[in-house]
Amino acid sequence: MNTHYRRTGRARVAGLSSVRLRATSEESLSYAQDQLLSGVVQFLSSVGLPSSKIGRRLRALADTVEAGRDVRTIHSSEYARFLRICGVVHDWSRSPEYTGSDGEPKALPLRGSRGLSALIKRRLPREPITRILQRMRARRVIRRRSDGRYVLLQRAVLVGKRDPVYLEWAAAVATEHLKTALENWKEGNRDARQLDRIARVFNLPVTQASTFRAFAKKRAESWLEEIDNWLEDHDAPTGRGRRVEAGVHVYAYVKST
């Protein structure tokens, strides 16, 4: 009889613990929801989106969720074009037919079977070449030499101030970070979780901010090059077996305290 009582007692304690854990989880999710939604609203307001438009979109999304329908993510045609231009730069800097014996990207003529136009058509078969060249020049990816050949100026397509793609790209990256966080939250095996780390201090002298920015960029470039080389060595576009997209994203920040 005492044994039965102890078993029942343990079961009740376990049940109470489970209830408390669920309550704590629901409370944490509520805080996470508030942080995400308020952060999104602040972000959209800061870039100039009218509050009325933000409100309408949030109400439409709420109606979709309450109706039990899936929330769809739609990208702009300019963003899709940007991703394919990134693919052109990748092919130019990695494909044997477009790199020299030193591994550096070759200077390419515009025409010909191994010219820049043919390279662009691999990724953007329906796009006018002049439009893609304009996008690549605007982002300082290419330069036309006096002999008419084009040289690749950087191995990554960088977006910056007032670039129409930048905000959409940032939103897509933020979404991927949240997906990683969700996967890690669900994963019980620590070794199976994805990388999600931070290094920071709270009292860096403001005079050191530019030095930190330069240092972080330099170290990140080296590290990303190493990661990129590993990924390229193990990339398998053909063959058997399931495949996944894999990568890392690095960013730095400086904010007032």
Comparing CA positions, the residue from 114, 104, 188, 183 lying closest to residue 151 is 104
Beta strands in the chain (DSSP E): 142-144, 150-152
Q: List, in order, residues 6 or more apart from 73 with CB less than 8 Å away.
A: 175
Which residue type occupies 99?
T
Comparing CA positions, the residue from 43, 27, 37, 34 lying closest to residue 59 is 37
Residue 152 CB neighbour total at 10 angstroms? 21
pLDDT reported for residue 21: 54
Q: For 174, how many CA atoms within 13 A lie in the half-sphere containing its CB? A: 11
pLDDT reported for residue 158: 83
How far is residue 216's CA from residue 213's CA, in Å, rounded to a whole number?
A: 5
Per-residue pLDDT of 175-227, as tens digits, reads: 999 999 999 999 999 999 999 999 999 999 999 999 999 999 999 999 999 99
Six-digit token string for 209: 């901010």
pLDDT reported for residue 2: 39
pLDDT reported for residue 20: 56
Which domains can be identified in the chain, with CATH numbers? 1-72 (no CATH), 77-152 (1.10.10), 197-236+245-257 (no CATH)
Residues of the chain under the 50 pLDDT cut: 1-16
Count of positions (residues) in the chain: 257
H-only helix segments in 100-236: 116-123, 129-138, 166-186, 209-234
Q: List, in order, residues 6 or more apart from 206 with CB less than 8 Å away.
A: none
The answer to whether residues 159 and 165 touch, using CB atoms and an 8 Å cutoff, is yes
Per-residue pLDDT of 102-122, as tens digits, reads: 989 999 999 999 999 999 999
pLDDT reported for residue 27: 85
How far is residue 122's CA from residue 117's CA, in Å, rounded to a whole number?
A: 9
The answer to whether residues 232 and 94 touch, using CB atoms and an 8 Å cutoff, is yes
* Inter-axis angle of helices 51-66 and 2-46, nearest 10: 150
Helices (H) and strands (E) in the chain, counts: 7, 2
The answer to whether residues 183 and 172 touch, using CB atoms and an 8 Å cutoff, is no
pTM for the whole thing? 0.79
